Structure 1
Amino acid sequence: MNSMRARLLVILLLTTGAVWLSAAAWIYWSTQARVEQVLDARLREAARMVDSLITDHRIEIASAAEAIEGLDVERMTDEPYSHQLSCQIWSLAGSLVGRSEAAPRERLASSDDGFSQTAIDGETWRVYTVLNSERGVQVMVGDNLKVRQSLVNDVMTGTLLPMTLVLPVAGLLIWLSVQRGLRPLDRMAALLARRHANDLRPVDLPDAPGELRPALDAINGLFGRVASARDREKSFTAFAAHELKTPLAGLKTQAQIALASDDPKTSRHALEQIVSGVDRSSRMVRQLLDLAAADANEERDVAGAADAATVVRDAIRSVESLAARRNVGIEAQGLPDGKVACDRALATTALRNILENAILHSPAGETVRIAASTSDQKTLFRVEDGGPGMTEDDLAHARARFYRGTHHDGAGSGLGLAIVDTIMRRAGGSLTLANQEGAGFTATLHFPKA
């Protein structure tokens, strides 16, 4: 049953039915107990009254049993039950002295005094016995339990029949209440169904009940995240198209120069520019893919247990060719122990981009140093270069996508630090950037330990 409306209706109907059955059972048992109590009191009073008539000599013993039919106590019940009492008078010698018209001929009770139950001809009788030693008789007054049960059933029928007839009305009222109670949910569904796919404004239902508010907040939060993702994708696409257009145009220009020139030096220079442009374009495409991967992982768990030393070795290996072309050395001051709480590929991507930036901004002959340290909670990768560093304005905007600093040489795309910052935030770590005293720059990756 996938319908919340149907499920709620069934739950309420079952709950109402359970309450109704519990009430019916309680009424039945309490009515039966009350009727038993009242009728037992009637038996006792009737038996004592007959005994009193015999003791006071106000009636003959033989006819005393017939007097039960005229006692006022009979009028305690409705007409169908007014003659249910039966009376027997037995001598202490064991002979039947007298009985009422409705009384059986067999002895109603064998006990000397008090209440008892006796089965006669397949029917059970409830009997109250009074021992009259002075007159040498036993007065027995009883009624048939079948008649008692009939009385209880009639009382229950009169009580439960109206309640049963009301059940369909209660079911209809429950159904109408469920329909009305879920109406705000229907309004929200209709409002969302009418919306255009590009309409990511928050859903506003001023009269929404408190139970619906968490769902509304969650939907509005999702809309906000989707809008942010779409804006980021639009920005990403626009910047990527712009950044790729320039090097492609340059490649075309250099290729035309190489084809048109007869001078070997000019042609070779143009071809070298094409190779350099291809390298820059290749690096930009790779960084765009890295950024797309980092953005995609923002909605997934990137936590892992990457070996810190392996991350350092993989990152250095991936930039060795770039360092050789730019005549920049790489020095790793010890390999860290333990693991970082990040996916290995993403952690390597973050460190590789930091190393690439350091190599690209270091003059030829310099050395890029990478050092690692660990604490109880974090593993730090610190990368130092001998470049010119950043201005205060560059530091403030360095993490923005496609932002190039004051000292860029055209080789970068402005994506490296944006990629690193996205990965570090997703992994629960952080990136710090700082100028060194004199010259040089330091970038530090703070990874949480696994």
Structure 2
Amino acid sequence: MKAPEPRLQRKLLAWLLGPLAALLVLDTGVAYWNSVRFSNLAYDRALFEIGREIVLHVRAEPAGPRLDLSDAAGNILLRDPDDLLYYRVVATDGRLLGGDPQMPQPRNGAAAASPRPARFYEDVVHGEPVRMMVAWLPVGSAAAPTQVRIQVAETLHKRTRFAWEMVANVVLPQVLLIVMATAVVWFGVSRGLQPLQRLRRAVSDRSHLDLSPIATDDVPGEVRPLVDEVNELMARLGRTFDFQSRFVADAAHQLKTPVSGLKAQIELALRETDPERVRHSLAQLYISADRLSRLVRQLLSLARNEPGALDAMQLHPVDLDACALEASMEWVPEAIRHEIDLGFEGAGEPLMIDGDPDRLRELINNLIDNAIRYSQRGGRVTVRTEKTAADQCRLGISDDGPSIPVEERQRIFERFHRLLGSGQDGSGLGLAIVSEIATLHGARITLEEDTDGVGNTFSVFFRLRSS
């Protein structure tokens, strides 16, 4: 069975009205206890007076006291329209002088002669709960007094009825007051939660494409931080959707041309009958497929390194010097194939930074790939790492390619931007990926002319890891 949905209104009413209900129950218990006490005080006096009237009929004689109570007098004394009355009179020597012999013996030491006028307690007579009175009262002349023990028991009907009447007189006004308070609290809570209901309707009526901020004009102060966080979340979602939309548009634009080229070359190969021409077409297809594969990898890398990917990126201590050396060694065969002198100049010491090893390797690979691709045959590409300050290190990659004009040095990090007249195939994504990865690591990237005046030097400055 599904658990009931937690509701704020229900919780507020429970916390506001629950203590009132608990106080009502407690007050009812206290009122009943006081009512029983006052009822006993009132009726105990009457019970004691009945005992005194019975003792007035005891005669002191030389042989001992004797009860002289006629039936008529007994009926008058013990008559009650609501309860039954029982009595018993006993002399000091334990001799029964009159009354009901089956009444229980007094409890709590009341059987012994005592100067106390009377004791009252609850007991049972003939199977019914009663209020019992026990007293030692004097009989005879003041010169030679003697005592008799009188027990009078009365059932509890009128006492109970009187107690409940008193409880009703005390509790009923309180119940009425609580009912009125419940109605007022219910109305107040419902009115107080109306801004939340309007907020719920405003959110539920929205289109799934509407990520504009929720208005906070009528939002209670207690809920405003939550609404602010929701607005911030929608702003982040909006930026993410913008990135995704831009990526899809860019991918569709960039994939359209190579896919169309592949299709045209396949159609051309299908029409050829000369095996040499078919082989040539297949070679061209392979080159186009390789370019398409590289473009797809770069697009996926660009999507993975979008701004906002920092939440999913795990930073670890990384030695930038070792990472750059390892990446440079992997590019040696490609440099040899292009007749490029690829060199590495290390810092001579570990350069520990906080970073993602895979993304850092991707940054270095794109910079080396870009340097080899645009350098002339017989040229030189140098990868350098060095410590530039107490808390900063530098990764530099120099090439012998065409110098990039000053006015183009900012735009080359934009997506799909390519220099005209370079004569090289490319998608214009490599340096955009480098810029995105550098941003994710809090690094700064610059571009200057090489120190020998030929080519370019890309520098990425990282903050050293604090020890």
TM-score tier (shorter): 0.5 to 0.7
Is 1:121 aligned with 2:126?
Answer: yes
- Opposite residue 138 of structure 1, the aligned amino acid is R
Q: Quote the residue 1:315 is aligned against.
A: 327
Q: Distance in 2 between matches of 1:415 and 1:64?
A: 124
Is 1:401 aligned with 2:412?
Answer: no
Give the match's secondary structure for 1:138.
strand
Q: Tell me whether 289-298 or 434-443 shows the greater mean CA deviation.
A: 434-443
Contact 2:328/2:383 (CA < 8 Å) preserved in 1? no
Which of these residues, 337, 344, 369, is aligned with residue 356 of structure 1?
Answer: 369
> What displacement does 1:108 show?
6.3
Q: Quote the residue 1:371 is aligned against.
A: 385
> What displacement does 1:127 show?
3.0
Q: Distance in 1 between matches of 2:285 and 2:94?
A: 135
- Opposite residue 22 of structure 1, the aligned amino acid is A
Q: Distance in 2 between matches of 1:29 and 1:248?
A: 87
- Opposite residue 37 of structure 1, the aligned amino acid is R
Which of these residues, 131, 137, 142, is aligned with residue 132 of structure 1?
Answer: 137
Q: Distance in 1 between matches of 2:243 and 2:10?
A: 47
Going from structure 1 to structure 2, the CA distance change for 1:369 and 1:16 (only over 3 Å counts) comes to closer
**After superposition, where does 1:226-237 map in structure 2 within 5 Å?**
226-237=237-248
**After superposition, where does 1:55-66 map in structure 2 within 5 Å?**
60-61=57-58
> What displacement does 1:215 show?
4.0
Contact 2:317/2:354 (CA < 8 Å) preserved in 1? yes
TM-score normalised per structure 2: 0.64
Q: Distance in 2 between matches of 1:389 and 1:146?
A: 114
> What displacement does 1:137 show?
2.6
Q: Distance in 1 between matches of 2:382 and 2:16?
A: 77
- Opposite residue 103 of structure 2, the aligned amino acid is E
Q: Deviations over 1:374-405 (max 9, x none)?
A: 999x8956123155877776565564434557
> What displacement does 1:192 show?
3.9
Which of these residues, 437, 443, 448, is aligned with residue 459 of structure 2?
Answer: 443
Q: Quote the residue 2:27 is aligned against.
A: 27
Q: Deviations over 1:133-182 (max 9, x none)?
A: 55413344544356645555565577778888999999888877776555
Contact 2:258/2:288 (CA < 8 Å) preserved in 1? yes
Give the match's secondary structure for 1:225.
helix
Q: Quote the residue 2:279 is aligned against.
A: none
Q: Quote the residue 2:444 is aligned against.
A: 431
**After superposition, where does 1:379-394 map in structure 2 within 5 Å?**
382-386=395-399
Q: Tell me whether 408-417 or 245-254 shows the greater mean CA deviation.
A: 245-254
Is 1:301 aligned with 2:317?
Answer: no
- Opposite residue 416 of structure 1, the aligned amino acid is G
> What displacement does 1:303 show?
0.4
- Opposite residue 208 of structure 1, the aligned amino acid is V
Contact 1:90/1:138 (CA < 8 Å) preserved in 2? yes
**After superposition, where does 1:51-450 map in structure 2 within 5 Å?**
60-61=57-58, 89-95=89-95, 106=103, 109-110=106-107, 111=110, 112=112, 113=116, 114-132=119-137, 134-145=145-156, 148-149=159-160, 151-152=162-163, 183-204=194-215, 206-237=217-248, 283-295=294-306, 298=309, 301-303=312-314, 305=316, 308=319, 311-312=323-324, 315-316=327-328, 319-324=331-336, 325=338, 327-331=340-344, 333=346, 342-360=355-373, 364-371=378-385, 382-386=395-399, 399-403=413-417, 413-426=427-440, 428-433=441-446, 435=448, 439=453, 441-444=457-460, 446=462
Give the match's secondary structure for 2:362.
helix
Q: Distance in 2 between matches of 1:63 and 1:408?
A: 141
Q: Distance in 1 between matches of 2:75 and 2:387?
A: 109
Q: Distance in 1 between matches of 2:348 and 2:74?
A: 116
Q: Which runs of 5+ in 1 are unaligned?
A: 72-78, 255-271
Q: Distance in 1 between matches of 2:405 and 2:160?
A: 101
Contact 2:48/2:133 (CA < 8 Å) preserved in 1? no
Going from structure 1 to structure 2, the CA distance change for 1:38 and 1:317 (only over 3 Å counts) comes to same
- Opposite residue 327 of structure 1, the aligned amino acid is I
Q: Quote the residue 1:261 is aligned against.
A: none
> How many residues were matched structurally?
418
Q: Which runs of 5+ in 2 are unaligned?
A: 59-66, 139-144, 266-282
Is 1:41 aligned with 2:41?
Answer: yes
Give the match's secondary structure for 2:123.
strand
Q: Distance in 2 between matches of 1:68 and 1:432?
A: 117
Going from structure 1 to structure 2, the CA distance change for 1:328 and 1:245 (only over 3 Å counts) comes to farther
Contact 2:322/2:350 (CA < 8 Å) preserved in 1? no
What root-mean-square deviation, in Å, do the aligned CA atoms of Structure 1 and Structure 2 show?
Answer: 5.6
Going from structure 1 to structure 2, the CA distance change for 1:143 and 1:50 (only over 3 Å counts) comes to closer
Q: Deviations over 1:341-385 (max 9, x none)?
A: 544432321221233344456565323123266999x89561231
Q: Distance in 2 between matches of 1:234 and 1:175?
A: 48
Q: Deviations over 1:107-148 (max 9, x none)?
A: 562514434443322234333433335541334454435664
Going from structure 1 to structure 2, the CA distance change for 1:123 and 1:371 (only over 3 Å counts) comes to same
Give the match's secondary structure for 2:305.
helix
